[in-house]
């Protein structure tokens, strides 16, 4: 994050340096800033200090408007089962399902071809919404968790490994417009018992692959919603899969419709009695649809699951395709449609006692459970499901990884195989990417930083494969600073005369962007 003071300093220095006027298109330097980045920079620069935020946070703020507010989940009244003598309450049609219905109606009006299905969906959503009855306690738990969650989408796309931070949302939306490579993504499936180390293995594979745009899809995102909106969800899934033209809107509908378990099931989940390990608990149809679209390099909205509340969040993780997709889950090999999509099948096999120990710690620390509850769920559902459904999937595996994430040899073999397969599919390796821009026209929206000896010198450090990490960071930051200063020098300014301490008057210039950047942010927010 750039502080206001740093930005002002950059301004001053940038102004002095750029008085000669850096001109658009000068030189052949590859260091550049696009108009859109410039706009973002403007937006970021002048946020008041109490409201400074990163690009991702800003983007999040904007994206939040697409989805429902957490408040929508908290307005439902107490359940008559837990509060006797209270007349069953019929909520006004302003809840999430009403909104789904509104969206569905919009889709219906815009797409006559699907009006019938959408009409069913809209009606069902409203009816279902009016029947949602939750205990005050359950509501409170969910609200607490979710009220902090709206800013988390970016965090959910970030994976921290031992050595680096990995962004897992896949390609950026503009990937195809900038001549990015499009090869069929390589889809790795990782199956194994709960807490066997699937996610850890996935993270290690991503880290060792060291190629751009690798993403993780977790099977937990696809827990079926068996509550009142289940039928809407099913209908919406049908629309989603059958009508590509409306898939995006419909998926948003689904997300708001597929909310929670019904009251009875939710109570069972709170008592650790609900079976989350049975194949029927997952929406395999939605799962295979999403994986299929990802394999086709298309954008998808992946639901986000909340283990504390046993529900889907009212936000999704947007994925724009990837070069490698890792799909992990306890029943990753269970469904034949899903199995057929996988290019490589990995089974993580870790001792049962280690798994139980890890699960105990994880569920208590991260998923809000207690010792008794975790053991109860383990004995009644987790262990039997492993024996009946998960272990029998092992023969489907191409490679079995004993011990999980600490098995470096197995991870190395997997990574080698993936590299080889990607090359066979025509994926250009890093050295080819480095020259991919040569001979390409420079778009009008691009301003090029002058290719001075200083810039060339910095590039020499940065591009040298033998440059130590610290030096790489140091010189990269210096180059970034030049880019930011150059960008700031492009902002509008007006002439200004100031008095020097010696009593002379100095005719200079001053940026006049405070107002315009603020209004820019406001425009973006609208």
Ligand X SMILES: Nc1ncnc2c1ncn2[C@@H]1O[C@H](COP(=O)(O)OP(=O)(O)O)[C@@H](O)[C@H]1O
Ligand Y SMILES: O=c1ccn([C@@H]2O[C@H](COP(=O)(O)O)[C@@H](O)[C@H]2O)c(=O)[nH]1
Instruction: Enumerate binding residues for ligand X (CB under 6 A).
Output: 192, 194-200, 358, 362, 404-406
Q: Which two tokens stand for residue 347?
A: 């089974």
In DSSP terms, 349 is beta-bridged to 402
Interacting partner of 382 out of ligand Y, ligand X, none (Cβ under 5 to 8 A depending on kind): ligand Y
Q: Which is nearer to ligand X, 363 or 485 (CB)?
A: 363
**From CA 31, how far away is CA 195, in angstroms rounded?**
45
* Residue among 310, 312, 317, 419 that touches ligand Y (CB under 6 A): 310
Q: Which is nearer to ligand Y, 198 or 293 (CB)?
A: 198
Q: How far is the CB of 198 from ligand Y (least distance, A)?
A: 6
Contact between 307 and ligand Y per CB under 6 A: yes
Please give the DSSP secondary-structure letter assigned to residue 380.
Answer: I
Candidates 194-202, 251-259, 414-422, 500-508; binding stretch for ligand Y (CB under 6 A): 194-202
Q: How far is the CB of 68 from ligand Y (least distance, A)?
A: 20
Interacting partner of 197 out of ligand X, ligand Y, none (Cβ under 5 to 8 A depending on kind): ligand X
Interacting partner of 276 out of ligand Y, ligand X, none (Cβ under 5 to 8 A depending on kind): ligand Y
Contact between 277 and ligand Y per CB under 6 A: yes
Interacting partner of 406 out of ligand X, ligand Y, none (Cβ under 5 to 8 A depending on kind): ligand X
| φ, ψ dihedrals at 146, nearest 5° | -85, -20
Q: Which is nearer to ligand X, 79 or 199 (CB)?
A: 199
| Residue pair 440/179 in contact by the 8 Å Cβ criterion | yes
**From CA 204, how far away is CA 190, in angstroms rounded?**
12
Residue whose C-alpha is closest to residue 304's, from 294, 293, 312, 292: 312
Contact between 276 and ligand Y per CB under 6 A: yes
Maximum pairwise Cα distance, the chain: 88
Interacting partner of 310 out of ligand X, ligand Y, none (Cβ under 5 to 8 A depending on kind): ligand Y
In DSSP terms, 300 is beta-bridged to 319
**Binding positions for ligand Y, 416-435, rule CB under 6 A:** none
In DSSP terms, 496 is beta-bridged to 508
Q: Which is nearer to ligand X, 138 or 190 (CB)?
A: 190
Q: How far is the CB of 380 from ligand Y (least distance, A)?
A: 10
* Residue among 42, 255, 304, 382 that touches ligand Y (CB under 6 A): 382
| Residue pair 43/58 in contact by the 8 Å Cβ criterion | yes
Residue whose C-alpha is closest to residue 231's, from 314, 108, 123: 123
Torsion of the alpha carbons at 453, 454, 458 and 463, rounded to the nearest 10: -10
Length of the chain: 526
Q: Mapping DSSP to helix (H, G, I), strand (E, B) and coil, where does residue 262 land?
A: coil
Binding track, positions 103-122, relative to ligand Y; x by CB under 6 A: --------------------
Torsion of the alpha carbons at 381, 386, 388 and 389, rounded to the nearest 10: 110
| Residue pair 304/368 in contact by the 8 Å Cβ criterion | no
Interacting partner of 142 out of ligand Y, ligand X, none (Cβ under 5 to 8 A depending on kind): none
Interacting partner of 404 out of ligand X, ligand Y, none (Cβ under 5 to 8 A depending on kind): ligand X
For the four alpha carbons of 173, 175, 177 and 181, in that order, the dihedral sign comes to negative
Q: Which is nearer to ligand Y, 306 or 476 (CB)?
A: 306
Binding track, positions 209-228, relative to ligand Y; x by CB under 6 A: -----------x--------
Q: How far is the CB of 127 from ligand X (least distance, A)?
A: 37
Interacting partner of 31 out of ligand Y, ligand X, none (Cβ under 5 to 8 A depending on kind): none
Please give the DSSP secondary-structure letter assigned to residue 463.
Answer: H
Interacting partner of 358 out of ligand Y, ligand X, none (Cβ under 5 to 8 A depending on kind): ligand X
Q: What is the DSSP string of 177-211?
A: GGT----PPEEEEEEESTTSSHHHHHHHHHHHH--
Torsion of the alpha carbons at 270, 155, 366 and 381, rounded to the nearest 10: 50
Q: How far is the CB of 493 from ligand Y (least distance, A)?
A: 54
**From CA 249, how far away is CA 107, in angstroms rounded?**
7
Interacting partner of 189 out of ligand X, ligand Y, none (Cβ under 5 to 8 A depending on kind): none
Candidates 3-11, 73-81, 158-166, 192-200; binding stretch for ligand Y (CB under 6 A): 192-200
Q: Which is nearer to ligand X, 1 or 365 (CB)?
A: 365
Token pair 């959408």: residue: 118
Residues that bind ligand Y (CB under 6 A): 194-195, 198, 220, 276-277, 307, 310, 330, 382
């Amino acid at each position: 994050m750039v502080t206001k003071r740093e930005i002002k300093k950059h301004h001053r220095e940038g102004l002095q340096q750029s008085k000669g006027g850096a001109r658009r298109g000068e030189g052949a330097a590859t260091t550049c800033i696009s108009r859109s980045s410039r706009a973002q920079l403007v937006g970021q620069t002048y946020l008041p200090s109490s409201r400074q935020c990163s690009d991702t946070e800003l983007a999040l703020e904007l994206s939040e408007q697409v989805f429902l507010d957490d408040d929508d989940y908290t307005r439902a009244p107490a359940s008559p089962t837990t509060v006797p003598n209270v007349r069953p309450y019929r909520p006004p049609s302003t809840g999430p399902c009403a909104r789904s219905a509104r969206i569905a109606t919009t889709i219906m009006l815009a797409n006559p071809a699907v009006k019938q299905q959408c009409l069913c969906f809209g009606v069902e959503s409203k009816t279902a919404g009016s029947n949602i009855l939750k205990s005050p306690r359950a509501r409170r738990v969910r609200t607490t968790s979710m009220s902090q969650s709206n800013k988390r989408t970016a965090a959910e796309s970030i994976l921290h490994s031992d050595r680096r931070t990995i962004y897992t949302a896949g390609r950026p939306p503009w990937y195809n417009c900038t001549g990015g490579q499009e090869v069929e993504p390589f889809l790795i499936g990782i199956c194994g018992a709960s807490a066997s180390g699937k996610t850890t293995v996935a993270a290690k594979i991503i880290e060792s692959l060291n190629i751009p745009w690798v993403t993780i899809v977790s099977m937990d995102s696809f827990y079926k919603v068996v509550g009142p909106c289940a039928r809407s969800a099913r209908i919406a899934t049908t629309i989603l899969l059958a009508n590509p033209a409306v898939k995006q809107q419909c998926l948003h509908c689904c997300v708001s419709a597929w909310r929670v378990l019904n009251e009875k099931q939710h109570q069972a989940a709170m008592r650790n009695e609900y079976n989350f390990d049975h194949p029927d608990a997952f929406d395999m149809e939605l799962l295979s649809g999403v994986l299929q679209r990802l394999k086709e390099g298309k954008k998808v909205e992946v639901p986000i699951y909340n283990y504390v509340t046993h529900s889907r969040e009212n936000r999704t993780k947007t994925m724009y395709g990837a070069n490698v997709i890792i799909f992990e889950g306890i029943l990753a090999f269970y469904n034949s449609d899903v199995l057929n999509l996988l290019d490589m099948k990995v089974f993580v096999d870790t001792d049962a006692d280690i798994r139980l120990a890890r699960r105990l710690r994880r569920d208590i620390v991260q998923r809000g459970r207690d010792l008794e509850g975790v053991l109860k769920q383990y004995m009644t559902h987790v262990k039997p499901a492993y024996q009946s459904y998960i272990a029998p999937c092992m023969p489907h595996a191409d490679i079995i990884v004993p011990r999980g994430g600490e098995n470096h040899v197995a991870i190395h073999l997997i990574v080698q195989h993936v590299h080889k397969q990607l090359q066979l599919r025509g994926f250009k390796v890093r050295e080819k990417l480095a020259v991919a821009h040569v001979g390409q026209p420079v778009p009008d929206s691009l301003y090029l930083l002058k290719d001075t000896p200083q810039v060339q010198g910095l590039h020499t450090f940065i591009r040298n494969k033998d440059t130590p990490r610290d030096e790489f960071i140091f010189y990269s930051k210096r180059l970034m600073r030049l880019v930011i200063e150059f960008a700031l020098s492009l902002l509008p300014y007006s002439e200004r005369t100031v008095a020097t301490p010696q009593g002379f008057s100095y005719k200079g210039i001053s940026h006049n962007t405070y107002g315009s950047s603020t209004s820019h942010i406001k425009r973006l927010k609208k």
